[in-house]
Amino acid sequence: MKNRYYGATARAIAIERRRQDGNAYRSLLLKLALLLAGILVFTLAGTYSAGAEQVFPENLALPNGIQPEGIATGRGTDFFVGSLADGRIYKGDLRTGEGEVLVPGVSGRRIAGLKVDQRTNYVFAAGTGSGKAFVFDGGTGALLAEYQLTTATPTFINDVVLTPRAAYFTDSNQPVFYKLSLGPGGSLPAQADVETIALSGAWQQVAGFNANGIEATPNGKALIFMHSSLASLFLVDPATGAARLIDLGGASLTNGDGILLEGKTLYVMQNRLNQISAVRLDATLKTGSVTKVITDPAFRVPTTIARFGKWIYAVNARFGTPGTPDTDYDVVQVLK
């Protein structure tokens, strides 16, 4: 009886020790796993941080002599830049900084503002003094459509914005804008479907450049125009053309050019001032205030801007610098 008792006790003690040893071993393994995970996360974070600076360069070189004006981001990390020299369109990669000419230049063609329809990968381009709009395939560069928006003189088809149902183009020399209605999935209209909409209400047509940059609310129910000569913003009804001045509390957007709407913040490129003003708009889009100004030493008279993630990309047009085949141009990345 005594031997059986002590034998059972010894087995119980041994079992308890094995259990405790097993718990200690598992605890040690857990601690080691957590330690290794922490080291791995720290290493990956450092690698990503270092890689991000390398993968998304702050300056992206463009072909010499391109004389850029418009920029647009497309699918993935694609970006597109149009030429005032010969209408070529350059396609690059924001991640690598590499690229090539997608649309070859054509004598007499000039391209200003650009926008990309993500549904179709179509690139819409403003044709400046030709009074035309162009649509290219963002993959192949093929010319898909050419629209004569106006035959009025003078004219300067300056910028374009896309909504789910239409493309709208500004004319810096005429008190109108132009609409191309888009079909299901972004299908293109016929030439006969081009609409000219007169600007009215508070709009003022003055000497010099008038309507320049254009943006739209996500639902397409309101447009915002940059009026370069008045250094002001206007809220425009896309159906009627009725415009009202956006009250900026006395602020003046001198040299305002391309604009970019992010939520209720409108970023305004002020080209010759080499700065971007962030305008915080109220819920009705009737008033706004400049909340910050973004500058960068690499700005050299940038004209238009495009979004990608946490960054804004501005294209240096270098207005005032004689454009030669050897003149260098680039795109500059800044934080919003």
Of residues 271 and 36, more confidence is placed in 271
Instruction: Please indicate, yes or no, whether residues 3 and 133 belong to a single structural domain of this protein.
Output: no
Strand ordering across the sheet containing 329-335: 59-62, 329-335, 311-316, 302-308
Instruction: Examine the domain organization and report whether 69 and 86 are in the same domain.
Output: yes
Cα end-to-end distance, the chain, whole Å: 84
Higher pLDDT, 150 or 32: 150
Give the Å distances, CA to CA, from 101 to 16, 62, 98, 159, 250.
Answer: 75, 10, 11, 21, 43
141 φψ region: left (φ > 0), alpha (ψ -120 to 50), beta (else): left
Looking at the fold, whether 101 and 15 belong to one and the same domain comes out as: no
| pLDDT tens for each residue of 139-197 | 999 999 999 999 999 999 999 999 999 999 999 999 999 999 999 999 999 999 999 99
Chain mean pLDDT for the chain? 90
Helices (DSSP H) in the chain: which residue ranges? Answer: 2-55
Q: At which of 27, 55, 83 does a domain end?
A: 55
* Domain membership of residue 15 as a residue range: 1-55
> What's the pLDDT score for residue 55?
78
Each residue of 282-305: pLDDT tens digit? 999 999 999 999 999 999 999 999
CATH number, domain containing residue 271: 2.130.10.10
pLDDT band of residue 33 (cuts 50, 70, 90) is: low
Are both 211 and 326 inside the same structural domain?
A: yes
Q: What is the pLDDT of residues 203-240, one digit of tens each?
A: 999 999 999 999 999 999 999 999 999 999 999 999 99
On whether both 3 and 116 belong to a single domain, the answer is: no
**Residue that is last in its domain, among 30, 55, 80:** 55
Asked whether residue 237 falls in the same domain as residue 104, the answer is: yes
Q: What is the pTM of this model?
A: 0.84
Q: Are residues 162 and 76 in the same domain?
A: yes
Number of domains making up the chain:
2
My answer on whether 159 and 196 are in the same domain is yes
Q: Count CB neighbours of 113 within 10 A.
A: 29
**Per-residue confidence (pLDDT) for residue 2, from 0 to 100:** 43
Do 65 and 32 share a structural domain?
A: no
Please check whether residues 19 and 144 belong to one and the same domain. no
Tokens of 306: 């495009």
| 166 and 312 in a common domain | yes
Token duo for residue 212: 């320049």
∠ CA 95-87-297, nearest 5°, is 45
Cα 211 to Cα 197: distance, rounded to the nearest angstrom: 13
| 163 and 241 housed in the same domain | yes
